[in-house]
Amino acid sequence: MDNSVRDFDGWWDYGDPAGTASRFRARLAEPMPDEAYRLELLTQLARTEGLQRNFAVAHAILDEIESALTEALPVAWVRYHLERGRVLNSAGEGVLARPHFQAAWDGARQVGADSLAVDAAHMVAIVAEPDEQILWNEQAIAYAEASEQPGARNWLGSLYNNLGWTYHDLGQLDKALDLFERAQTHFAERAIPDRLRIARWCVARCLRSIGRLDEALAGQRALETEYAALDEAAGYVYEELGELLLLQGDAQAAAPYFGQAHAILSQDTWLQAQEPERLARLQTLAQS
């Protein structure tokens, strides 16, 4: 029985699922060390297709995996349920996704795959009703903090962030800010600059909700400068700068930021599908 958890993170660029898919397909064309490796790699390929909203392709890959699973491949079984659930959730089928995430949570704990258990718990939290989200996020955090496996502990920054957004959406802004700051510390200590910038954005966004506009603006201005130095587009930073300037009564200064935000974020297929009103608002405010 193969209980080892392979680390595919180095293959991933979550901002480029198509490029990631090409890497996985190239590896799959090479000789495989064993069937467990092949099936687990296929689960990652299915995930790339789900992120591109190629749901039929993703499910076909997962069907292939399902037909090959045996009791001797428990980690592949866990990964199969994780990725089937993720594809269903991306397609708006959160209710159908949840049993897969809970199966992965149970299966991963049974074989001591702590990082996959934490991943599964955090996905249950994402699809759960609001009154359960806090419970599942806290359960995931407790499991990660208690684990001696680095792969599980590496989840903590994302978990703090997710729970922070749950509290933010409930209007419990002080709790949200504390969690966003814990996420920022997590990524700073591990010197993960791209994740650290996202964490700093979340802190600044929460400061806007609290009403600490000057601090929020300073945070977003700093991020604007850093992204410019990296020659990277920063649609969400531009959106926030527009919102902050608008709140400060400067619609004229805000409009170009809304325009830049719309130009970038309108290319995001997830936002197109899930938040068309948000994109329309950006376009309207850009013309103010």
- For 19, residues 6+ apart whose C-beta sits below 8 A from its C-beta are 13
- Look up tokens 């594809």; give the residue: 87
Nearest-angstrom CA–CA distance, 23 and 9: 12
pLDDT at 3 over 60: no
- For 107, residues 6+ apart whose C-beta sits below 8 A from its C-beta are 74, 77, 78, 81
pTM recorded for the entire structure:
0.81
| pLDDT at site 4 | 59
pLDDT at 264 over 70: yes
Cβ-contact 27, 10 below 8 angstroms? no
Higher pLDDT, 14 or 62: 62
Q: Which domains does the chain have, with CATH numbers?
A: 1-154 (1.25.40.10)
pLDDT at 251 over 70: yes
pLDDT at 8 over 80: yes
Copy the structure tokens of residue 90. Answer: 């991306």
Angle between helix 235-247 and 276-286 (nearest 10): 60
pLDDT at 59 over 70: yes
Residue from 285, 287, 279 nearest 235 by CA: 279
pLDDT single digits (tens) 105-135:
999 999 999 999 999 999 999 999 878 999 9
Nearest-angstrom CA–CA distance, 263 and 106: 43
pLDDT at 208 over 60: yes
